[in-house]
A and B are shown apart, each in its own frame.
Chain A
Amino acid sequence: MIATLSASSTTVVLVGAVFLASAVEMVEALTIVLAVGYVRGWKSALEGVGLALLALATLVGAFGPALVHVPLSALRIVVGSILLIFGMQWLRKAMLRSSGRKAKHDEDAIYRATVAELEALGESARRDQVAFVVAFKGVFLEGMEIVITVLTLGTSAHRLALAVIVSAIAVVVVGVVGLIVAKQLSNVPENAMKMTVGVMLVSYGTFWTGEGLHVHWPGGDTALLALVVLYGLVAGVTVRVLRVAYDVAQDMALE
């Protein structure tokens, strides 16, 4: 019973973290591709997307199986540390945005900025190199974050295939929905998703770093869920406290 609960808790956190992280990065990549496609034409934009996807698939194919052969303790320390750094960066940014200390990620503004930048570059004959490069870079850089999340979480949990499938589903779902509601990606609650992913990545990072360092967690794998609850509470309380302090400071500035 406890073993089943432990296994299902790690699977739930793995699936949730991979799905949300992949969805958030896909929203960012799609914003860039839609802007490029509408302004400079779809042919070169889609060629850039295709090459980026090929490069990402090659990286997963090359490093995925290789990572499985790295000694588990060493892999978990490295992966745990990367997840801790990555997760804390996400969580910090999401908390700053939620508390009003930092401007929220605005997909509409990014779309408008990309369009303005591309229109300023003027027309191009034959293959549109600008469209190709911008689409490639957008998909490759956002995709790299998905690849790193999938490889680190998937290999350390010994569920690489599951992580790849969940990530692919997230990318397809966001892709299809994004194309249907094109130009309305700003409606996606990106900051809340980023906060959730941050909590999950930091929880996983803490858990795997501990496992790699031979820490015996009380309750085994269920400790992962306790970490998610702990970090979720800390994030929620921090945002509330900062929000109140920010509002008080704003009121005082107005008086």
Chain B
Amino acid sequence: MSDSRSLPLRLVKAFGRFWWDFLVGDTPEITVAVVIIVGAVALVADVIHVNVLAYVALPVLVIVTLALSMRVAAKPR
């Protein structure tokens, strides 16, 4: 079956698909967690101004995210 869509449309779609696969792919939990981490640390660092909590929370949340993602991956399907 030939693709009748215009070249620019196909390029935009391919570009979007590339970024989706790159940033979400088969690990949507990591993408969602990073958005939450950035929001939480921004709140701590820029709004309530507790620097120590911000620099401790950031790597801890990253490690928790990795652990949760590993748990998802290790689950028998």
Give me the interface of A with B, judged by CB distance under 8 Å. 77, 81-82, 84-86, 88-89, 91-92, 95-96, 101-102, 141, 144-145, 148, 202, 205-206, 209-210, 213-218, 223, 227, 230-231, 234, 238, 242
Could you tell me the distance in whole angstroms from the C-beta of A252 to the nearest C-beta in chain B? 14
Within the complex, which residue of A84, A89, A214 is in contact with B25, where a contact is CB–CB below 8 Å?
A89
From A141, A145, A148, A217, give the contact of B55 (CB < 8 A): A217
Residues of A within 8 A of B35 (CB): 81
Please name all residues of chain B whose beta carbon is closer than 8 Å to the beta carbon of A215 when the two chains form the complex.
41, 45, 51, 54-55, 58
B74 touching A88 by the CB < 8 A rule?
Answer: no
Question: Which of A95, A141, A205, A213 sits near B45, CB closer than 8 Å?
Answer: A213
The answer to whether A96 and B73 have CB atoms under 8 Å apart is yes
What residue in chain B is nearest A78 (Cβ atoms)?
B38
Decide yes or no: A92 and B18 within 8 Å by CB, A206-B58, A215-B58, A242-B74 being known contacts. Answer: no
Cα separation A82 to B34 with both chains bound (whole Å): 9
Please tell me if the beta carbons of A213 and B38 are within 8 angstroms of each other in the complex: yes
Quote the shortest CB–CB distance from B69 to chain A (angstroms). Answer: 5
Closest A-B pairs by Cβ, 6 of them: A215-B54, A213-B45, A215-B45, A88-B30, A84-B34, A213-B42
Query: A84 near B62 (CB under 8 angstroms)?
Result: yes
Tell whether, in the assembled complex, residue B45 and residue A96 are in contact, meaning their CB atoms are under 8 Å apart: no
